[in-house]
Amino acid sequence: MVKNMAINWTQLFKKYKGQWVALKDDERTVITHAKALEDVIDKSSRLGFDNPLLFKVPTKIANYIGSNGT
C-alpha cells in the first residue's frame, strides 16, 4: 500500500526561490542548488548523486486545484 503524504516545502520555496534544486530520495534533503539546471546536475554528480530528484522552485506560489486522473 502506497501512502500519499504531502511534503511541506515552505522553507524550500523561501530559501531557493527561482533556483533549481537537487533532492535526495526522501524528497526533503537538498543536495545542491543553482540557477542553472546543468550546474545542479554537475554538482550532484560530483557529490555522488547520479539520479537526484530535480525541481525548479517557482518564484511565486500559486494555488492549484486539479485531478490526479482517477
User: Is residue 9 domain-resident?
Assistant: no
Predicted TM-score (pTM) of this structure: 0.76
User: Is residue 35 domain-resident?
Assistant: yes
User: Is residue 63 domain-resident?
Assistant: no
Domain that holds residue 26: 14-56
- The Cα–Cα gap between 19 and 37 comes to 8
Into how many domains does the chain fold? 1
pLDDT at 50: 92
64 contacts: CB under 8 Å, gap ≥ 6: none
- C-alpha distance from residue 16 to each of 34, 49, 53, 58 (Å): 9, 19, 15, 9
Distance of alpha carbon 64 from the chain centroid: 17
- The Cα–Cα gap between 54 and 38 comes to 11
User: Is residue 7 domain-resident?
Assistant: no
Please tell me what DSSP assigns to residue 17: T
List, for residues 4-62, the tens digit of each pLDDT value: 678 888 888 899 999 999 999 999 999 999 999 999 999 999 999 999 999 999 988 77
pLDDT at 63: 73
User: Is residue 42 domain-resident?
Assistant: yes
